[in-house]
Amino acid sequence: MQWQGRRESGNVVDQRSFGAGSVGIGTLIIGAIVYYFMGGNPTDYIAANAPNVIHGSQSGTSQSASELDQQRKSFVSVVLADTEDVWTEQFRSLSRTYTPPKLILFTRATRSACGSASAATGPFYCPRDQQVYLDTSFFDELSNSLGARGDSANAYVIAHEVGHHVQNLLGLTDSAEVRGLSRNQSSVIIELQADCLAGVWAAHETKYFDKGDVDNILNAASAIGDDRLQQRSGQVVMPDSFTHGSSEQRTAAFRRGLNGGTLQSCIDR
């Protein structure tokens, strides 16, 4: 996937230096300010992070971001910028204005308007503050543990979470939850539609794709299907417990958006 040197979104908020681990007093104050503007109580942030404060020159060393961290931030910013371009145009076709989400980069644990979360939760979207949360170590898990490799696979993950933002703006999530279905059934519908919306993003992204990038995305969608995840953990596959859909359903949903290329192709008719 060709992403280097392209436009980066200004909506990425890097909180990785404000996360778990040792922090300097200046970083603690800045983190509290950022947390306040995200809608949180800064005193809660300070109370949680004050025990980690260190002093002196150690602070600058501990907070220096690695080259990989910077590269991943640039990558995430480019992908987010692409989603902004795609959905701005798609909303314009509906005579609507697209308001992009903020994307929060964090390390190990974070707080959102939807509550606390850890890296184990995986990337997620919080509709209450309209923000996407991502610990980029998930990219390593996707590649090393699940066998879904490549920048395009990582980009798909971001596009999927932004898909939830699109659903939220258009009220599609609410419509999926009032059909008289079980909580799990509603969740599967919502998640598959987000996969479809990621496919719409990909349809407009193919000019930046290298050979094999779409296959990498389909492999990622398949790898995080509920049936595959249950099998990997040694469980019996139980469709009634699915919350995101099977591998087959997830890849089919993505293909639907990829082939249709429009928001309308992902809205049930």
Q: What is the residue extent of each domain of the chain?
A: 67-266
Express each pLDDT in 145-195 by its tens digit: 899 999 999 999 999 999 999 999 999 887 666 567 888 999 999 999 999
**pLDDT given at position 52:** 45
**pLDDT given at position 22:** 42
List, as one string, the DSSP characters of the chain.
---TTS---S-EEE-GGGSSS-EEHHHHHHHHHHHHHTT--HHHHHHHHGGGEE-TTHHHHHHPPPHHHHHHHHHHHHHHHHHHHHHHHHHHTTT----PPEEEE-SSEEEETTEEEEGGG-SEEETTTTEEEE-THHHHIIIIIT---SHHHHHHHHHHHHHHHHHHHHTHHHHHTTSS--HHHHHHHHHHHHHHHHHHHHHHHGGGPPTTHHHHHHHHHHHTSHHHHHHHTTPPP-GGG-SS--HHHHHHHHHHHHHH-SGGGGS--
Q: What is the pLDDT along the chain (269 residues), one digit of tens a residue?
A: 999 999 999 999 999 865 444 445 555 566 556 555 555 556 655 554 554 444 433 444 334 458 889 999 999 999 999 999 999 999 999 999 999 999 999 998 999 999 998 888 899 999 999 999 999 999 999 999 899 999 999 999 999 999 999 999 999 887 666 567 888 999 999 999 999 999 999 999 999 999 999 999 999 999 999 999 999 889 999 999 999 999 999 999 999 999 999 999 998 65
Q: What is the pTM of this model?
A: 0.82
**pLDDT given at position 182:** 86
